[in-house]
Amino acid sequence: MHSFCSGRLLATETIMCAEHIEICLECQQLFNQLSIINVTSRSGSSIFSPDAFILGEHVDYEQISDYLDNKLDRDRVEFVKPHLDYCPVCSAEMSSLKEFRKTIEAELWEREEPQDFITKVKSIFRRIEFPNPVYLFGALSILIILGIVTFVLYRWMIQDKDQHTKSPAYVTPGPQSPRDDPERKDSKNDPTSPSGQVVINRPTDRTEVIYDTGKRYVVSYYDDRISVSNLAPELRLDAAKVMKGQTIADTALLEELAQPEMDVRGGDDDKKKIVLVSPVGTVIVEDRPVLKWRPIEDASSYVVDIVDETFSPVAQSPQLEGTQWAVKESLKRDTVYMWQVTAYRDGERIEGRLNQIGKFKVVSEGKLIEVGRARRRYTSHFELGVYYLREGLLDEAEREFRRVLARNPSSKLVERISTMVLQGRR
């Protein structure tokens, strides 16, 4: 009875004892006495209590399987684990289940039929831990954007290549007269043209690319003609003339502002002349310009004089040690001015020097507004340079073309334009 109450009997023996106690009053009294005496020792171990073995309770097969698969909740584990540790029947059942699983696990994987391929794939994907959907969507979006950008760049490169490799020549049957289109050439005067045909738009001789402020200009040469792509329509004709070395500014205005060097002091040594830098022979926007000149030997100071077209004095600088002077008072707009620099040594005017006279014109109020609009419209240095040349703003044009040359240092065309602008007024 002591072994029964302490739970040390086997399951079969426990069941037999329990059945006997149910029908024997004397054994029931003994069982109750022992239960009261050992209640303290059985505290915290209710799962091994005689009541449990009286009822014949053991861990069933499903509970053992769930225990091995970690599917039992915490309270159930606290009951099952000690029972499996001390009950030889249940412990044997668990060991048998473990061995059985090891034996059939590899066989089940190898014996899967082909028709269960989809099920296999699903099981594989269930084991994969996918990232956060937000991150996955972001990465997919970046890949799509990169694909679109790559496709656009590829298409742009292909179109640009086709533009330079395909011949723009077109041939049409010709009883037509060349008078109908100045671009057409009569086959009678062209021995290379097939009889009875008129050639239109002959192929390009060569092309040149100019890069400027995010833009790309393609210069195409057709014999004696030049065309520029991506240029503002109103500037294309002027740009072609500039590339040919032609003047696009008002000729009368440039002749008015041009002034040869004059000897006003009677000297004849060309090395002793005072050379004016800017503004010379140009139109300017500022009504308070900065006048610049080159230094000469032995000069300790300079004085600048400005007069109008009637030779009336307009402004005079103080004694200057440097080689530039900012006019203090605003000059009248839409007016032509002349200026000259006199050199001094120790406060005495240096005689016998060749002094150059410079001319410039300050734009009118209306032209000032037009220049402001042009600066907002034309966003590239090349377009602004062409516009400034057309308006006679030569200093601004030279500055813009020098910026284009800095971006295209190997471009002979841009270098030639910059040199032409510089030489045209020095």
Q: Give per-residue pLDDT as tens, 126-160.
A: 666 656 677 777 888 898 999 899 988 887 777 65
Q: Is the overall model pTM greater than 0.75, yes or no?
A: no
Q: Is pLDDT above 60 for 182?
A: no
Beta strands in 124-271 (DSSP E): 170-173, 197-200, 206-212, 215-222, 225-228
CA gap 275, 261 in Å, rounded? 9
- The residue ranges of every structural domain in the chain are 2-105, 132-162, 211-252+366-423, 261-362
Return d(Cα 26, Cα 185) in angstroms, integer.
138
CA pair distance 337, 329, nearest whole angstrom: 14
Token couple for 44 = 């915290």
pLDDT at 85: 80
Question: Is the model more confident about 159 or about 190?
Answer: 159
| CATH number listed for the domain at residues 261-362 | 2.60.40.3780
